[in-house]
Amino acid sequence: MTDLWTSAEIAQATGGAASAPFAVSGVAFDSREVGQGDLFVAMKGETTDGHKFIDRAFGQGAAGAIVSEPVAHPHILVPDSAAALESLGRASRKRMAGKVIGVTGSVGKTGTKEALFLALDRSAPGQVHRSVKSYNNHVGVPLSLSRMPRDAAYGVFEMGMNHAGELSALTRQVRPHVAIVTAIAPAHIEFFGTEAKIAQAKAEIFEGLESGGTAIIPYDSPHVATLYNKAERHAGRILTFGMSDQADIHVMESMAAPGGGTFVTARLPDAELCFTIAAPGDHWVSNALAVLAAVEAVGGDLAAAGLALAEMPGLPGRGERRMLPVAGGKALLIDESYNANPLSMKATLTQLGRENADRRIAILGGMRELGDRSVELHAGLAASLAAGQVDFAILVGAEMAPLADALDGAIPYAHVPDTAAAIPLIQTEMRAGDAVLVKGSNGVGLSRLIAALTEAAREKETN
């Protein structure tokens, strides 16, 4: 197996000094995630210092470390470990001869990134690298870049932001051949004030495009002009995707598929493709169109991409579906617990309304970083609950008070202070034939509710 990095290469990339020769097969900055043969990057943060965990990292199998102070293990000594990680990421991108795709957007980033990985890996197995988890910020992006094998045929990188200028810096590290904006929504609007400013910040992804690169933008967005105007300054080609037949990649026909997915016939610039999307919901149709646009842009196999979309499993926290045993049968649990904003809430509640269920229950946590529009946007979810034909809602946290007021008895609901209070309530309430949607910002902690329900189901199946 080819080494990911040698100590000499790391030293050259970072401008550091090697204490001894070594080679690594992976990179980590969290000592808890260090595996055999990894490079541990010991960074100093506001609340902790990675140098305190050097012994732990090497005890777990680290082969070397990047440090800003000498340690009694093989290491590269640099002035600033965080800056060194960024330099290592840039060096990784420079040596990679394949095609790179960058993904951003207010919603759908991680799902689209994962779908792209599967779509490309289907025809180039083992040759596709992507950022893991939601490593999409000023630390996660260089980490993901530094982990990219030198002979990768494709790299897919998620990029996020909550302030203007962040994407500009990240995309210049990634230097994508293809840059995607999935959608614009009032996520992080607390830091921007308006959706228009969010669109401007998301459009920064095009600034890092390689010469002649492709920009992929959502045609149905009210901010398409903002995105298009920015793309024109940096892209050699622009592709739009959406439901409108004016989009370069658009839906010609669609219908519900058994199991909750969608059969789609899509039109691309030079082809038509019939395929199935395993993940349910109109938002996933939109994501799939963006995926096809990117695959087409890098010269990938569209037929293989269509097969991958048909087989793509739900992601934990982002649409994973589980059948839970309950008294008298089973209930469907839809796990959207990782994140939430008004657009994604509307999309998932709309899909909940399409589920074939005896009852539809929505467990909703607060949407964070909405600033002075928080009350308005939470109250506005009342219409989405009605459209989703919700029979009972459990509203979690103080941020959900405006929604409770807006419902005013129109839909039965319970408003609880936190996730801990929601767990016994849904365990008592859930019945066979129910479809239960769990969605909220990650900070609300609804993943703990998912874990509790899953563990209880596991115990029932074991006993």
Q: What is the model's pLDDT at position 346?
A: 92
Q: What is the DSSP letter of 368?
A: P
Cβ atoms within 10 A of the Cβ of 34, count?
25
Q: Hey, where are the domains in the chain?
A: 5-79, 96-311, 320-462
Q: Which CATH class is domain 5-79?
A: alpha beta
pLDDT tens digits, residue range 189-210?
A: 777 789 999 999 999 999 999 9
Q: What is the model's pLDDT at position 281?
A: 87
Per-residue b or e along 252-262, where b marks 16 or more CB atoms closer than 10 Å to that residue's CB? eeeeeeeebbb
Residue 239 has pLDDT above 60, yes or no: yes
Closest CA to 200 of 241, 171, 163, 245: 163
Neighbouring residues of 118: CB distance < 8 A, sequence distance ≥ 6: 308, 309, 311, 312
How would you classify the pairing of strands 262-268 and 249-256?
Answer: antiparallel
3-state secondary structure 226-249: HHHHHHHHHCCEEEEEECCCCCCE
Residue 463 has pLDDT above 70, yes or no: no
Q: What is the model's pLDDT at position 112?
A: 95
Fold exhibited by the domain 96-311: UDP-N-acetylmuramoyl-L-alanine:D-glutamate ligase (3.40.1190)
pLDDT tens digits, residue range 217-227?
A: 999 999 999 99
Give the pLDDT band (50/70/90) at residue 154. very high
pLDDT tens digits, residue range 103-127?
A: 999 888 999 999 999 999 999 999 9
Higher-scoring residue by pLDDT: 272, 185: 272
Average pLDDT on 64-92 reads: 97
Neighbouring residues of 155: CB distance < 8 A, sequence distance ≥ 6: 93, 96, 98, 99, 100, 101, 128, 129, 130, 145, 148
Phi, psi torsion values for 213, nearest 5 degrees: -70, 170
Per-residue b or e along 322-357, where b marks 16 or more CB atoms closer than 10 Å to that residue's CB? bebebeeeebbbbbbbbbbbbbbbbbbbbbbbbbeb
Phi/psi region, residue 15 (left: phi>0; alpha: psi -120 to 50; beta: rest), is: left
Three-class secondary structure of residue 309 per DSSP: helix
Q: pTM of this prediction?
A: 0.85
pLDDT tens digits, residue range 35-76?
A: 999 999 999 987 889 999 999 999 999 999 999 999 999 999
Q: What is the model's pLDDT at position 305?
A: 96
Residue 375 has pLDDT above 70, yes or no: yes
Per-residue b or e along 291-307, where b marks 16 or more CB atoms closer than 10 Å to that residue's CB? bbbbbbbbebbbebbbb
Q: What is the DSSP letter of 56?
A: H
Residue 457 has pLDDT above 70, yes or no: yes
Q: Calculate what percentage of the chain has a pLDDT beyond 70.
A: 99
Structure tokens at 20: 């001894």
Q: What is the model's pLDDT at position 462?
A: 74
Residue 409 has pLDDT above 90, yes or no: no
How would you classify the pairing of strands 5-6 and 23-24?
Answer: antiparallel
Cβ atoms within 10 A of the Cβ of 137, count?
16
pLDDT tens digits, residue range 333-355?
A: 999 998 888 988 998 999 999 99
d(Cα 95, Cα 151) in Å, to the nearest integer?
9
Phi, psi torsion values for 289, nearest 5 degrees: -65, -40
Residue 359 has pLDDT above 70, yes or no: yes
Residue 1 has pLDDT above 70, yes or no: no
pLDDT tens digits, residue range 278-310?
A: 988 888 999 999 999 999 999 999 999 999 999
Give the pLDDT band (50/70/90) at residue 414. very high
Query: What is the overall mean pLDDT for the chain?
Result: 94
Fold exhibited by the domain 320-462: Protein-Tyrosine Phosphatase; Chain A (3.90.190)
Average pLDDT on 147-174 reads: 95
Average pLDDT on 169-180 reads: 98
Average pLDDT on 155-172 reads: 94
Q: What is the model's pLDDT at position 437?
A: 97
Per-residue b or e along 86-108, where b marks 16 or more CB atoms closer than 10 Å to that residue's CB? bbbbbbbbeebebbbbbbbbbbb
